[in-house]
Amino acid sequence: MILSRCFLLTLIAALLASQRPALPADAEGQWSRFRGPNGAGISNATTVPVTWTTPDEVVLLALDHHGDQLWRRNLGPFVGARGSGASPIIFDDLVVLANDQEDPNLLPENAGKPPIPRKGKSLLIAVDRKTGKTRWQTDRRLYCVAKNGEVVVLAAADKFDVLARMPLGESSYAAPAVAGGVMYLRTHRHLFSLGGKRQPTF
């Protein structure tokens, strides 16, 4: 089977799903998009999360409006051809960060060199917004969709590890989408939803 697309989904929406009504994108305390509320890069929140990466560490910290550090986390070394592109996500009292790592043996500068052991580990982590303590942490998953409509779930690991297979029954040329704790998969004639609360049909 030839996989036409391979999408790395963090399952953030599924892990953060709740039954309460959705808040507006710019609601107080919620960062639902890049660059914070309204995408302006400005926040009135008293605790502002910041992240950056160096080869030695993935930093996640919180600052107040005076620039004083409230807490700091070192999530370990970072391996990648470029710096991390993930922004912190604020959801209620959580700060969520996707920590994506690359296999150093696949980087262009290491081509032809002896195998290099991996330093960093890809993961999704949620910390307490006030203290920075870990609330939960999970490994990453790869969701791959073939043209024939088969969904293959792979572990984001050094070894090829198929976690699940699910045929959708017809061709698919669409990327998976996640919203409100539900993953949506579209085929030629149907739309499938995985997870979340079952919605009434009309």
Q: Mean pLDDT in the chain?
A: 75
pLDDT digits (tens, 9 = 90+) for 19-32: 344 444 444 456 66
Domain containing residue 11: CATH number: 2.40.10.480
Phi/psi of residue 109, nearest 5 degrees: -70, -15
Is 24 inside any structural domain?
A: yes
Query: What is the domain range of residue 63?
Result: 3-141
Position 22 scores a pLDDT of 45
Q: Is 39 among the domain residues?
A: yes
Domain contains 162:
no
Task: Answer yes or no: pTM beyond 0.75.
Answer: no
Q: If you average pLDDT over each of 74-88, 93-107, 132-146, 162-176, which comes out highest?
A: 162-176
**What is the tally of structural domains in the chain?**
1
Give whole-number Cα distances, 170 to 26, 107, 177, 187, 190, in Å. 39, 36, 18, 6, 9
pLDDT tens per residue, range 110-145: 777 887 776 667 788 899 999 999 998 877 777 888
Beta bridge partners of 84: none
Domain-embedded: residue 186 = no
**Is position 127 within any domain?**
yes
